[in-house]
C-alpha cells in the first residue's frame, strides 16, 4: 500500500480481507491503531493518513471533501485493480464516514470492485439536514466544538505550542465539511453497518439509521453506550462487528 497515504499498526500485513479506515476531523491514522491490533491477525488493516498531520505535518491539508476523496481514491484504485479478488471494506468515523462513503461512490464510478461492506460511524447520511458545526470557521468555535465532542486530549488544546500543531488540520477539515454539498446518486450495492453512541451530542440513533437509504444491500445498526467518541470504550465489540460483517460479505460473494 502507498506509504504516504496509508499506515499499518501491525507487524505484518495479513493476507485476508483488507479494512481501510478513515479518521475523524482533525484526526490521524493513529486513531485506528488499537482497533487494528484487536482485529483478527489475518486481516490487513490500514488507516488513511490525511495531509497536514503527524508525519505529513509539512504538507498543506486539503480543504475540500472532493479533493480529499479524489486523492484517497486515486491511491487506493491501483491497489484494488492489482488484486481484484481480494475482499475489502471501508470504516469511517464522523467526517471519516463521509469520506469513506464518497470514496466508495467514486470507486464505483471508475468501475472498480466495490467494498464488501461499509462501516459508517458517528455520522448520519449525507443528505441529512446540515448540522450547525459545518458552518464554523472561527478557531474559537471549532475548538469549542472539539471540546464538546471529546475524543481529543484536552491538555493538548490547552497547550499553545501543541495547539499550533493541530489547528491547521482542524481548520481545514471543518472548512471541508462546511463546503461539502450532497449530490444525489444511485445507492451503493455494498451493505452498510452504521455505528453510533447512544449519547452522541451530534448524531442521534435516528440520524444513524438514515444510512439505510444509501445501500441496496443489507443494513445493520449498532448502538453503543457513550458519546461521539464511544469507540475507545468498545474496541472488542467493534472488532467483533467488523469481523462478522466483513466475513459475512466474503462468504456471500
Residues with catalytic roles: 94, 228
Q: DSSP state, 230?
A: G
Q: In whole angstroms, give the CA distance from residue 181 to residue 84.
A: 31
Which H/E stretch holds residue 193?
strand 192-197
Can you tell me which residue has the cell 486513531? 31
Q: Tell me the angle at which helices 160-179 and 65-82 cross, rounded to the nearest 10 degrees.
A: 90
Q: Tell me the angle at which helices 95-109 and 160-179 cross, rounded to the nearest 10 degrees.
A: 50
Q: How many other CB atoms are there within 10 angstroms of residue 248's CB atom? A: 15
- Strands of the sheet with 18-22, listed across from one edge: 6-7, 44-48, 18-22, 88-93, 117-121, 192-197, 219-224
Amino acid at each position: 500500500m502507498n506509504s504516504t497515504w496509508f499506515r499499518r499498526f501491525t507487524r505484518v500485513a495479513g493476507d485476508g480481507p483488507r479494512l481501510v479506515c478513515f479518521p475523524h476531523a482533525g484526526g490521524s491514522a493513529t486513531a485506528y491503531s488499537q482497533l487494528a491490533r484487536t482485529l483478527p491477525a489475518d486481516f490487513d488493516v490500514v488507516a488513511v493518513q490525511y495531509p497536514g498531520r503527524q508525519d505529513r505535518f509539512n504538507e498543506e491539508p486539503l480543504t475540500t471533501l472532493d479533493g480529499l476523496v479524489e486523492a484517497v481514491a486515486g491511491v487506493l484504485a491501483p491497489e484494488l485493480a492489482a488484486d481484484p479478488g481480494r475482499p475489502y471494506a471501508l470504516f469511517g468515523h464522523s467526517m471519516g464516514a463521509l469520506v469513506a462513503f464518497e470514496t466508495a461512490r467514486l470507486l464505483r464510478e471508475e468501475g472498480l470492485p466495490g467494498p464488501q461492506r461499509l462501516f459508517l460511524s458517528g455520522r448520519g447520511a449525507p443528505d441529512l439536514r446540515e448540522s450547525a458545526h459545518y458552518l464554523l470557521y472561527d478557531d474559537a468555535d471549532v475548538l469549542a466544538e472539539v471540546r464538546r465532542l471529546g475524543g481529543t486530549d484536552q491538555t493538548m488544546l490547552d497547550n499553545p505550542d501543541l495547539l499550533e500543531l493541530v489547528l491547521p488540520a482542524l481548520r481545514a477539515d471543518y472548512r471541508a465539511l462546511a463546503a461539502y454539498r450532497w449530490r444525489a446518486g444511485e445507492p451503493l450495492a455494498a451493505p452498510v453497518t452504521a455505528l453510533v453512541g447512544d449519547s452522541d451530542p451530534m448524531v442521534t440513533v435516528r440520524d444513524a439509521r438514515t444510512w439505510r437509504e444509501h445501500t441496496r444491500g443489507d443494513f445493520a445498526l449498532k448502538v453503543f453506550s457513550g458519546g461521539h467518541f464511544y469507540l475507545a470504550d468498545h474496541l472488542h465489540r467493534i472488532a467483533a462487528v467488523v469481523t462478522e460483517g466483513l466475513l459475512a460479505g466474503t462468504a456471500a460473494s
